[in-house]
Chains A and B, each alone.
Chain A
Amino acid sequence: MTTPNALTIGGARGVVELKQFFRERDSVVFTFTFPAVLLMMLGSVFDDAGAAGVSGGQVLTASFAAAGIVSTSFVNLGSALAVERDDGTLKRLRSLPMPPVSFFLGKIVLVVVASFAELVLLLAIGVLMFDVALPSDPAAWLTMAWLFALGITSCSLLGIAASSLSRSARSAGAVTTLPYTVLLFISGVYVPLQTVPDWMADVGAVFPVRWLAQGFRAALLPERMAAYEPAGHWELGKAAVILALWCIGGLVLCLTTFRWRSRLTR
C-alpha cells in the first residue's frame, strides 16, 4: 500500500488553495487590490515633489510594498483560516488521511504566490504612475528578497495565530483588518513617521510592519532619504533581527493556539 507523500499532497493543496483564492471574486477584487487602490489614491493626492526631490507617490510605493505583502499574508491568511474553521473546511481536512504539514505547505504556496503578485502589482503602479525607478543595484534586490521572505513568514504565522481569536466567519475580516489598519497608521505607511506622535511610533516599532516598510524604503528610495527615518539611517540589521524574532514568536503562538475545530460547533 503506497500512501501519497506529504509533499505530493502539499502540492495538490497549493493548487486547490490558489484556485479557490483567485476564483473568489470578492477576495480578488476587494482584498487583493485593496493596497493597490489605496496606493493609487494616496499617491495621487500626495504626488507633489517633496523632500529631496522624491515625490510622495514614490515614498508611498515603497511603504505600500510592505503593506501589500502584510495584507496577502497576515490579513488574507488570518481571515481565510477563521472562515475555514467556521465553515467546516478544517474539520473535514483533519478527518482525511492528510499530514497536517501538507495543509500548511498548501497555505505557504498560496501566500508566496499571492504576495509576490501583490508586490509586482504595487511596484508596477509605482513605476507607471509615480515614476519609481526600480533599483539597478543587486544589493537592493537582495534586501527586498529577504524582507519578502521574513515578512511573509512572520506575518503568516501571526495571521494563523490571530485567526484563533475570531469566533466566527463573520468576525474573521475584522479581527485581522483592524490591527492591520492601525499598524499601517503607526508604522509610517499612510503618513510619515515624523508626523506620528512618539508614543504611537514606539508602539509601531514593536511590530513587523514598521520594519518591513522601512526596509522597502531602503531598497527603493535614494540613500539621502535615510535622513528622514527616525534614526537618521535605514537600520536594516535591526529590521532583520526584529522580523526574525517575530518569525520565532509567531511560530510559538501558532503551535500553542492553532485549532482545527471551531469553539462553537460540535
Chain B
Amino acid sequence: MNDSAIRVRGLRKTYGSTTAVAGLDLDVRRGETLAVLGPNGAGKSTTVQILSAQLPRDGGAVTVLGTDPAGADRRFRSRLGIVSQTANDLLELTVAEVVRHFAAYYPRPRDPGRVLDEVGLAGQAKQKLRQLSGGQRRRVDVALGVVGNPELLFLDEPTTGFDPEARRRFWDLIRSLAADGTTILLTTHYLDEAEALADRIAVIAAGRIRASGTVADLVDDREVTVAWRDGAKTTDTPTALIAELSAAHGGEIPGLTVTRPSLEDAYLRLTGQETAA
C-alpha cells in the first residue's frame, strides 16, 4: 500500500505563449488535507485540473492514487470528487434531482439526502438551481463533489460567496470527510480557511511551489516586530529589547506593540506581494 495520494514532479503547462505551470513539485499523503494558496493566475486551478484528469499536461511526471491521470479511466474517475471553480449548468433541475442524478454515476455513492443535510441544503431540496443564491449554488457544487464518496477530493476555491455561517458548516463537512480518511486538496484565497482546515499548506506563485509545510514551518516567528512611539525594530529576542527600552524610558514604554508574523505576512513574502509599508 502506497502512502502517497499525489506525487508531482516538474509539472508544466502552457496556454499559447502563457506559462501557467512552470516546473511544479507537489506531494500529498493519503488522508492528508493540503491547502494550496496563491494569487490569481498563479497556476492553482490549472494544477488542480491536470491532477483531476480534466486537462492534459505539457510535461512532468504525475501520479494520482497510483495512476497517471493522463490515462484516466472510469474506475479512476469514480475515486475522485471535483468541485471546480465556476459552474453555471443544470439550472432547470432541482437540488434533490441533481444530487440524486450524480450519485447514479458512482459505484458506492453516499446517501443523497444525507449529503444535502451536510451541505445545509435540505431546505432547498425542491428548488431549481436557477432560483438559488450564489452561496447556495456553490454548496450544490460541493454536494456533487462529495456524493460519489471520493477517496480524493479536489476543491477549487470552494467557499467563494459563502456567508460566515455557511463557511463554518462547510469547514465542519470538510473536517468530517478528512476524519473519515478522505484526502483533500483545497485551493483558496482565504488564509484563515487554509489555517483552519489544512494539515499542510503549499504556497504557489508564477506556476511554482514557493514553500510548503505546516503553518509553523511557513511562518518565521523569529522575526518579531517591536514598535513603540519613537520607532520599530524587528528582532528574534523581543523580551530583551523590551527590557532595554523599558530601562531607557524609566518604566512604561509609550505606544508599545509586539507583533509576531502571521501566515498572511509569510504568504505575502512568498508570493512577492509584500507592500513597501
The A/B interface has a contact count, at CB < 8 Å, of 72
Q: Does B88 contact A (CB under 8 A)?
A: yes
Interface centre among A3, A9, A84 (most CB of B within 10 A): A3
Contact of A266 among B45, B87, B97 (CB under 8 A): B45
Q: Does B168 contact A (CB under 8 A)?
A: no
Contact between B107 and A1 (Cβ–Cβ < 8 Å)? yes
Q: Does B75 contact A (CB under 8 A)?
A: yes
Residues of B87-101 whose CB lies within 8 A of A: 87-90, 92-93, 97, 101
CB distance from A153 to the nearest CB of B (A): 26
Interface centre among A24, A88, A96, A99 (most CB of B within 10 A): A96
1/0 contact string of B196-218 vs chain A (CB within 8 Å): 00000000000000000000000
* Distance of A89 Cα from B89 Cα, bound (Å): 6
1/0 contact string of A86-123 vs chain B (CB within 8 Å): 01110110111111000000000000000000000000
Contact of B74 among A24, A87, A99 (CB under 8 A): A99
Residues of B126-158 whose CB lies within 8 A of A: 128, 148
Interface centre among A16, A89, A97, A266 (most CB of B within 10 A): A97
Residues of A1-57 whose CB lies within 8 A of B: 1-4, 8-9, 12, 16, 19-20, 23-24
Contact between B45 and A2 (Cβ–Cβ < 8 Å)? no
Interface residues of A (CB under 8 A from B): 1-4, 8-9, 12, 16, 19-20, 23-24, 84, 87-89, 91-92, 94-99, 266
Contact between A4 and B107 (Cβ–Cβ < 8 Å)? yes
Contact between B77 and A1 (Cβ–Cβ < 8 Å)? no
Contact between B88 and A12 (Cβ–Cβ < 8 Å)? no
Contact between B87 and A97 (Cβ–Cβ < 8 Å)? no
Q: Does B104 contact A (CB under 8 A)?
A: yes
Contact between B92 and A19 (Cβ–Cβ < 8 Å)? yes
* Distance of A121 Cα from B52 Cα, bound (Å): 45
Contact of B54 among A8, A84, A89, A94 (CB under 8 A): A94
Contact between B86 and A88 (Cβ–Cβ < 8 Å)? yes
Contact of A20 among B49, B80, B92 (CB under 8 A): B92
User: What residues on A are CB-neighbors of B75 within 8 Å?
Assistant: 3, 97
Contacts A19-B93, A95-B82, A266-B15; A8 near B88 (Cβ below 8 A): no
Give me the 3 closest cross-chain CB pairs, A-B, nearest first.
A97-B78, A89-B89, A97-B77
Contact of A84 among B52, B53, B55, B89 (CB under 8 A): B89
Q: Does B102 contact A (CB under 8 A)?
A: yes
